[in-house]
């Protein structure tokens, strides 16, 4: 820790927190259908869109129909992305002549992008054509994020409505998320990125000469460099805003063309947390009590900030093994010092750590440093933030509904403790809501721990491990933590482009997304049918510091108890070995 | 219930694909090519009309007369068609070997330099294409380059300074030196 680390972290948090309110209010207006900003101009387009799609935007859906609409739309997405990869060699915009992608990898990528995970078994610049990246992946970056954002709305309506069977119209919620929130933000952001040096071109790779001619390991002379290009900025803008995280290039936002300098890095960092954080404000605003949203945001920040400081601390301490050599790891005005393996010089320690913690807290999954090369404790923080269910900011929409499911559990437990009927935002929480919330909390750990357990006994799965010993176990645990919570980042040493990992992680991503999305809609449907209980002396307020502390404890305890044994075998053992 | 949603699903998917997958990237590309043509196409550096590198993509240097950059885990080093980090964990013996080899190479090329080596010079970058080193990393190499290029230390320091990029607004990021631009200028000087 040095003064510069603290300043940069505070600056990041300050800009993030300032941006929450305006965007939060804007989104609340949009979702309530009130005129604000650009939607005044775009309403005719929205109406036209419904007309040709045969959507009756005035008709609301019961929760089951909402779920069916959401599932059909998402399954079409999976199918199309799969198909595009399988036939990309015959399609246009393929200047580097990329061949068709194998079945298992196509399946993995398709599920990965439709579920807002953006796990990457493939290397962007070596596998996919520009056509697949645009028509397949960029589209999913928008619509998977919009699906997540849409899913939060029935829940809000569930709290607000009295004895109503319907919970809103999926197509309306989806379209508004894309048209009024994601698209305008992405357009502005993409152009800003390009002005800083992020590439956006349809030209093929360019060959340049080298200043110093070198030899490779075999002794062949190398006199030129092939530089991969492509329409990157348009995808990067939405991948950060929509907590997607799938990079245009293999090394994601560590690539100088995706993230060329300190400014782009700062803006991309803000973009990672912006919408998930602002949605908390929208939530409070829409349920008529901003304090309720701020309480959830407070829980997120209470867990996020220590994780951030912890990661910076351990990374800045550096690698103790290097002390045996004449190597300077001390931070000064002239160098960041610390554990620089797998980090870019322009980001140094603090910006790599802020990123690593933000991208795993939100279910973004883009990276600007190699998480596999982080110190064990920093790696532990990243894994744990995913394992607690991607509720610390989490995915756009999905993070908030995950946190609300924890809040439902928290009011239920506190209701039992004080002997009152549990209620949240004026609605009684009964066994049906508890069952659904429990399913949502239990599924990810089953996927993570079950998947890891299977992988570490299968010889072909173990063969993919790069770093042996406890770090190798961490690689596998990280992979399933990431897929089982729709994050998408990786300890990239694990060679995951194999049949076993492509299929198993694909299934984990699918279950983690939809087996949580459907129960949350069921909760919304059930809440919607209930009466609103007026606030009385017996109501447990859910915006007080006491409740915030209680909810934080619930999140931490569930995460800690479930994953401590697994974390002990991986990063904790490795830390003790250092 | 199921059938009612099929038509909207297909049409919505088609239209959103056209909007976000075709119109959006094309509009962005159009504006980029008109307004930021140089940057949007990779900030390529040209000399006599021939491309000789990109401002943002590092090149491999192990000749002692040049400044050296970060280690690169791509094959071959600084392969800008296939970016990659080493992904080695902090205790991996391979990492230790790589570090040792780099320490040795730096020491052999400059035996009298007993200063501690800045850590970024002995570790590999995340992308394998890092165009920068820390300012400390450049300072460490100045003595060697001065000797082998036969220029004055003051001159070299001012060239290094010219290619140093400080923190954004003095606060954000890390100060870094662009290795390729620095070496290109050294080369120009020598040609004169």
Q: Say what the pLDDT of residue B192 is.
A: 61
C-alpha B132/C-alpha B185 separation (Å) is 15
Q: Measured between alpha carbons, how far is A534 from A302 in angstroms, rounded to an integer?
A: 30
Is residue A249 a contact partner of residue B122, using CB atoms and an 8 Å limit?
Answer: no
Mutation to test the B interface, candidates A13, A225, A260, most B Cβ within 10 Å: A225
Answer yes or no: do A256 and B57 touch at CB < 8 A: yes
- Local structure of residue B3 (DSSP, 8 states): G
Tell me what the pLDDT averaged over chain A comes to: 94
Binary contact (B132, A471; C-beta < 8 A): no
CA dihedral A311, A317, A320, A321 (to 10 degrees): 70
**Within 10 Å of residue A92's Cβ, how many Cβ atoms?**
9
pLDDT tens sequence across B3-50: 889 999 999 999 999 999 999 999 999 999 999 999 999 999 999 999
- Give B107→chain A minimum CA distance, Å: 10
Would residue A552 count as lying in a domain? Answer: yes
pLDDT tens digits along A144-175: 999 999 999 999 999 999 999 999 999 999 99
> What is each CA distance from A79 to A116, A170, A286, in whole angstroms?
15, 20, 35
Element (H, E) at B117: strand B117-118
Would you call A467 and B7 a contact, using CB atoms and an 8 Å cutoff? Answer: no
Element (H, E) at B46: strand B44-47
* C-alpha A201, offset from chain centre: 27
A342 phi, psi to nearest 5 deg: 75, 20
Looking up tokens 């001065």 gives B146
Strand partners, B54: B44, B57
- Do residues A470 and A577 touch, judged by C-beta distance below 8 A? yes
* Confidence bin at B191 (pLDDT 50/70/90): low
> Domain for residue A381, yes or no?
no
Paired tokens of A335? 């160098």
Whether residue A379 contacts residue A474, with contact meaning beta carbons closer than 8 Å, is answered with: yes
What string of DSSP letters covers A320-360? GGGGGTTEE----SS---S--TT--TTTHHHHHHHHHHHHH
Q: Does the beta-carbon distance from B11 to A53 stay under 8 Å?
A: yes
Rounded Cα–Cα distance for residues A485 and A405 (Å): 15
Written as six digits, the tokens of B3 are 């059938």
Give the pLDDT confidence of B66-118 residue by residue, as tens digits: 999 999 999 899 999 999 999 999 999 999 999 999 999 999 999 999 999 99
How far is residue A157 CA from its own chain's centroid? 24
Residues in Cβ contact with A378 at an 8 Å cutoff, skipping those fewer than 6 apart: A310, A311, A314, A315, A353, A356
Q: B180: distance to nearest CA of chain A, Å?
A: 8
Strands A427-428 and B44-47: unpaired
Cis peptide before A116 (omega within 30 of 0): no
Distance between terminal CA atoms of chain A? 19
Backbone phi, then psi, for A154, in 5-degree steps?
Answer: -55, -35
Question: A387-434 pLDDT, tens per residue?
Answer: 999 999 999 999 999 999 999 999 999 998 888 889 999 999 999 999
Burial class (CB in 10 A: 0-12, 13-18, 19+), B149: middle
Q: Beta partners for B47?
A: B50
Query: Residue A323 corresponds to which tokens in the numbers above?
Result: 């002390």
Residue contact A328–B60, C-beta within 8 A:
no
CB count, 10 Å around CB of A314?
22
Record: contact B119-A203, CB cut-off 8 A? no
Confidence (pLDDT) at A535: 87
**pLDDT at site B38:** 96
Q: Mean pLDDT over residues A53-74, rounded?
A: 95
Closest-approach residue (CA) in chain B for A577: B91
Q: Which residues contact A164 (CB under 8 A, 6 or more apart)?
A: A528, A529
Distance CA B44, CA A226 (A): 12
Q: Which of A342, A350, A351, A472 to mutate to test the interface with B (most CBs of B within 10 A)?
A: A342
Mean pLDDT is lowest, of A79-88, A269-278, A487-496, for A487-496
Q: Do B129 and A319 touch (CB under 8 A)?
A: no
CB contact under 8 A, B85 and A69: no
Cα–Cα distance for residue pair A83/A101, rounded to 1 Å = 10
Taking a contact as any Cβ pair under 8 Å apart, which residues of chain B between 24 and 63 contact chain A?
24-25, 27-29, 31-33, 35-36, 39-45, 50-63
Gap between the Cα atoms of A261 and B174, Å rounded: 9
Find, among B73, B91, B98, the residue nearest to B83 by Cα.
Answer: B73
Nearest partner of B51 among A222, A208, A199, judged by Cα = A208
Q: How many helices (H) and strands (E) does chain A have?
A: 21, 5
Question: What's the length of chain B?
Answer: 192
Residue A373 near residue A379 (C-beta atoms within 8 A): no
Helix crossing, A262-286 with A348-361: angle to 10°?
A: 30
Q: Which residue in B7, B42, B180 is closest to A206 by CB distance?
A: B42
Count of Cβ atoms closer than 10 Å to residue A298 Cβ? 19
Do residues B61 and B181 touch, judged by C-beta distance below 8 A? no
Asked whether B57 and B80 are in contact (CB, 8 A), the reply is yes
Chain A CB contacts of B126 under 8 Å are 251, 254, 342-344, 352, 367-370
The Cα B18–Cα A178 span in angstroms is: 13
User: Can you tell me the distance from the alpha carbon of A182 to that of A356, in angstroms, rounded to the nearest whole number?
Assistant: 23
Q: What is the pLDDT of residues A482-504, one digit of tens each?
A: 999 999 999 999 999 999 999 99
> Testing the interface with B: which of A339, A346, A368, A576 to mutate, by most B Cβ within 10 A?
A346
Q: Are A12 and A266 in contact (CB under 8 A)?
A: yes
The DSSP bridge partners found for residue A209 are A224
Measured in angstroms, the CA of A283 and the nearest CA of chain B are apart by 26
| Residue in the structure block whose two tokens are 């790599």 | A352
Contact B83 A207 (CB under 8 A): no
A209 and B95 within 8 Å at the Cβ level: the answer is no
pLDDT band at residue A539 using 50, 70 and 90 as cut-offs: confident
* pLDDT over 70 (residue A246): yes
Contact B89 A201 (CB under 8 A): no
Q: Crossing angle for the helix pair A431-457 and A376-387, nearest 10 degrees?
A: 140
CB A491 within 8 A of CB B90: no
Q: Which is it for strands A327-328 and B117-118: parallel, antiparallel or unpaired?
A: parallel
Residue A372, in any domain of the structure: no
Residues with Cβ within 8 Å of A364's Cβ and at least 6 positions away in sequence, in order, are: A239, A240, A243, A244, A245, A272, A358, A487, A488, A489
* Each residue's pLDDT tens digit, A197-225: 999 999 999 999 999 998 877 888 889 99
| Rounded-to-integer distance, Cα A211 and Cα A42, Å | 51
Q: Identify whether A537 is part of a domain.
A: yes
A53 with B12: CB under 8 angstroms?
A: yes
pLDDT band at A37 (very low <50, low <70, confident <90, very high): confident
Domain range summary for chain B, segments of one domain joined by + = 3-39, 43-191
Q: What percent of chain A has pLDDT over 90?
A: 88
- Please name the residues between 89 and 148 in chain B that touch chain A, using a CB distance below 8 Å: 89-92, 95-96, 99-100, 103, 114-120, 122-137, 139
Domain count, chain A: 1
Is residue A27 assigned to a domain? no
Q: How far apart are CA A188 and CA A473, in angstroms?
A: 42
Chain A interface disruption, residue of B34, B63, B80, B175, most A CBs within 10 A: B80
Interface contact B64, partner A, CB < 8 A: no
Which pLDDT value is given to residue B31? Answer: 97
Q: What is the pLDDT of residues A320-367, one digit of tens each?
A: 999 889 999 999 999 999 999 999 999 999 999 999 999 999 999 999
- Chain A residues inside the 8 Å CB shell of B4: 65
Q: Is the dihedral of CA B31, B35, B37, B43 positive or negative?
A: negative
Nearest CA in chain B to A183: B20
Cα–Cα nearest to A411, from A423, A395, A399, A394: A423
Residues A452, A454, A459: CA angle, nearest 5 degrees: 110
Give the one of B2, B56, B123 whose C-beta lies nearest to A260's C-beta.
Answer: B56
CB < 8 Å to B180, chain A: 211
> Residue A357, Cβ neighbours under 10 Å: how many?
25
Provide the 10 A C-beta neighbour count for residue A288. 11
Q: Tell me which chain B residue has its CA closest to the CA of residue A266.
A: B172
Chain A, chain B: beta-carbon pairs less than 8 Å apart? 398
Partner-chain residue, chosen from A207, A222, A251, that has the shortest CB–CB distance to B84: A251
Contact B57 A369 (CB under 8 A): no
Tell me: pLDDT of A1 over 80.
no
- Contact yes or no for A191 and B100 at CB 8 A: no
Of A76, A195, A255, the CB nearest to B13: A76
Kindly report the number of other CB atoms within 10 A of residue A99's CB atom: 10
Q: Is residue A68 part of a domain?
A: no
**Nearest-CA residue of chain A relative to B35?**
A195
């Amino acid at each position: 820790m040095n003064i510069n680390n603290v300043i940069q972290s505070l600056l990041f948090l300050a800009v993030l927190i300032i941006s929450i309110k305006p965007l939060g209010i804007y989104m609340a207006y949009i979702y309530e259908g009130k005129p604000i900003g650009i939607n005044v101009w775009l309403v005719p387009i929205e109406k036209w869109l419904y007309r040709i799609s045969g959507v009756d935007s005035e008709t609301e859906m019961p929760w089951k129909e909402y779920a069916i609409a959401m599932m059909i739309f998402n399954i079409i997405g999976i199918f199309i992305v799969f198909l595009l990869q399988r036939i990309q060699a015959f399609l246009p915009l393929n200047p580097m002549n990329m061949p068709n992608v194998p079945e298992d990898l196509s399946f993995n990528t398709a599920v990965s992008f439709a579920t807002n995970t953006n796990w990457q078994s493939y290397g962007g610049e070596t596998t996919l054509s520009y056509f697949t990246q645009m028509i397949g992946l960029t589209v999913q970056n928008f619509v998977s994020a919009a699906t997540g954002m849409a899913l939060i709305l029935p829940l809000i309506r569930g709290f607000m409505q009295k004895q109503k069977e319907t919970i809103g119209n999926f197509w309306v919620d989806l379209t508004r998320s894309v048209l009024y929130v994601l698209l305008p933000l992405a357009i502005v952001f993409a152009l800003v990125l390009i002005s800083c040096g992020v590439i956006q071109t349809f030209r093929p790779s360019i060959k340049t000469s080298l200043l110093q001619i070198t030899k490779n390991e075999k002794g062949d002379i190398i006199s030129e460099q092939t530089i991969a290009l492509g329409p990157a900025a348009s995808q990067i803008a939405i991948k950060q805003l929509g907590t997607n995280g799938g990079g245009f290039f293999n090394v994601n936002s560590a690539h100088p063309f995706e993230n060329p300098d300190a400014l782009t890095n700062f803006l991309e960092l803000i973009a990672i947390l912006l919408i998930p954080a602002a949605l908390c404000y929208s939530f409070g605003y829409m349920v008529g009590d901003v304090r309720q949203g701020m309480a959830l945001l407070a829980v997120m920040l209470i867990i996020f900030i220590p994780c951030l400081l912890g990661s910076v601390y351990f990374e800045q301490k550096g690698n103790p093994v290097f002390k045996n050599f004449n190597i300077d790891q001390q931070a000064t005005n002239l160098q960041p010092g610390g554990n620089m393996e797998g980090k870019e010089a322009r980001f140094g320690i603090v910006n790599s750590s802020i990123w690593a913690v933000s991208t795993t807290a939100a279910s973004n999954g883009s990276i600007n440093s190699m998480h596999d090369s982080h110190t064990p404790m920093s790696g532990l923080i990243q894994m744990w933030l995913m394992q607690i269910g991607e509720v610390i900011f989490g995915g756009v929409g999905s993070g908030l509904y995950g946190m609300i499911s924890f809040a439902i559990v928290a009011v239920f437990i506190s209701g039992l403790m004080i002997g009152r009927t549990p209620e949240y935002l004026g609605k009684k929480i009964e066994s049906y809501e508890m069952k659904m919330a429990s399913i949502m909390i239990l599924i990810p750990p089953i996927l993570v721990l079950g998947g890891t357990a299977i992988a570490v006994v299968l010889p072909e799965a173990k063969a993919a491990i790069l770093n042996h010993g406890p770090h190798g176990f961490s690689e596998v645990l990280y992979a399933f933590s990431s897929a089982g919570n729709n994050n998408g980042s990786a300890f990239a040493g694990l060679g995951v482009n194999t049949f076993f990992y492509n299929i198993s992680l694909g299934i984990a991503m699918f279950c983690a997304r939809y087996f949580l999305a459907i129960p949350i809609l069921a909760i919304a449907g059930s809440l919607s049918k209930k009466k609103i209980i007026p606030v009385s002396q017996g109501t447990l307020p859910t915006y007080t510091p006491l409740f915030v502390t209680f909810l934080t404890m619930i999140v931490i305890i569930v995460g800690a108890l479930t994953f401590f044994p697994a974390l002990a075998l991986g990063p904790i053992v490795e830390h003790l070995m250092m | 219930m199921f059938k009612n949603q099929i038509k909207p699903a297909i049409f919505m998917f088609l239209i959103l694909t056209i909007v976000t997958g075709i119109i959006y990237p094309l509009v962005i590309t159009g504006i980029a090519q008109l307004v930021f043509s140089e940057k949007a196409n990779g900030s390529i550096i040209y000399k006599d009309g021939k491309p000789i590198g990109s401002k943002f993509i590092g090149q491999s240097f192990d000749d002692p007369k040049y400044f050296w950059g970060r280690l690169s885990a791509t094959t071959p080093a600084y392969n800008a068609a296939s970016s990659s980090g080493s992904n080695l964990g902090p205790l991996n013996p391979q990492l230790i070997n790589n570090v040792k080899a780099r320490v040795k190479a730096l020491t052999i090329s400059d035996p009298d330099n007993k200063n501690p080596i800045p850590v970024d010079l002995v570790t590999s970058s995340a992308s394998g294409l890092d165009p920068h080193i820390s300012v400390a990393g450049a300072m460490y190499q100045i003595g060697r380059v001065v000797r082998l290029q036969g220029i004055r230390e003051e001159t070299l320091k001012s060239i290094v300074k010219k290619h140093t990029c400080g923190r954004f607004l003095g606060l954000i990021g890390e100060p870094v030196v662009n290795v390729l631009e620095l070496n290109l200028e050294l080369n120009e000087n020598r040609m004169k």
